[in-house]
Structure 1
């Protein structure tokens, strides 16, 4: 497979763009609303979220690139793209629901759906390119943790 730098950059930029939109939805509440919530003892420090999410978005973008360059050989490419886009939309949606709308219960339901779609996405990517599937494992693990954190915040508040 020949490396395609423009496609590589576009795939990473797309996921980082989703992250930037989520960051915009999050920015104000992180300073005002979020500190007022009761949080569990395992809640990570605020400074950890940005580097973790940035790293995850880069891995997601690389995984998408690995699939994109094989698109001509994928029988159901439109379905693969649809699942990928749905997980990106749900990812962004969680930030808006939790931080912008302050709807913790709705955010909990949404993040569970997000986790399911990420697993489906990872399995689809794995069938196309094993590394593309493997690159989504940290994303699955982090969103699993974020799901439990969201649940805990919901219960505590």
Structure 2
């Protein structure tokens, strides 16, 4: 047995489906917590001085909806393939950091701290991609758009910090 494996992968279609629903529920919880930390995000974002390359406010919701689906599926694919594994540790860390950023940026208007936090999120996503690559390459590839968007969001966060 591999040292990274903690439990066995699901053996039935029902267990696999329940696992998928579990990953969707956890990621939906992360999205909800992030949303609670950014209740007035639209108004605050509109009031900020933004760089010329900043996206319009309406773009964030559809982008995040797609990314959250891919994040859930990626975690589920790894779990379905190798079970609860150490590869899911950086996954859990990045989920926690993902939930925290809106509270720092929008809730507290702590743009400097949000810049540091999103850099940590970026590193956690990178660690997750590396861990997932060893367990399930498709799962790792599903996280690349999320990592790219976080790169962009990180640059935007730093720009907002310096402009405001």
Higher helix share: 1
1:149 lines up with 2:161 in the alignment: no
Q: How far has the Cα of 1:153 moved from its partner?
A: 0.7
| 1:64 paired residue among 71, 75, 88 | 75
CA distance in 2, matches of 1:64, 1:48: 25
Structure 2: how far apart are the matches of 1:55 and 1:34? 21
Structure 1 residue runs without a partner (length 5+): none
- Provide Cα deviations, 1:36-68, integer angstroms capped at 9, x if missing partner: 211011111111101100110100000000011
Note the C-alpha offset of 1:26: 1.1
- The count of residues paired between Structure 1 and Structure 2 equals 152
Q: Is the 8 A contact 2:67 2:146 kept in 1?
A: yes
1:16 equivalent in structure 2: 28
Aligned-residue offset at 1:102: 0.7
What is the aligned partner in structure 2 of residue 89 from structure 1?
Answer: 96
Look up the SS of the partner of 1:70 in the other structure.
helix
Measured in 1, the distance between the counterparts of 2:41 and 2:146 equals 23
2: CA distance, partners of 1:122 / 1:68 = 14
Deviation at 1:129, TM superposition (A): 0.4
Give how far 1:101 is off.
Answer: 0.8
Aligned to 1:98: 105
Could you state the TM-score of these two structures normalised by the residue count of structure 2? 0.87
Moved over 3 A (4+): none
Give yes or no for contact 1:30–1:99 (8 Å, CA) kept in 2.
no
Structure 2: 5+ residue runs without aligned partners? Answer: 1-10
C-alpha deviation, 1:2, in angstroms: 6.3
| Contact 1:40 1:153 survives alignment (8 Å) | yes
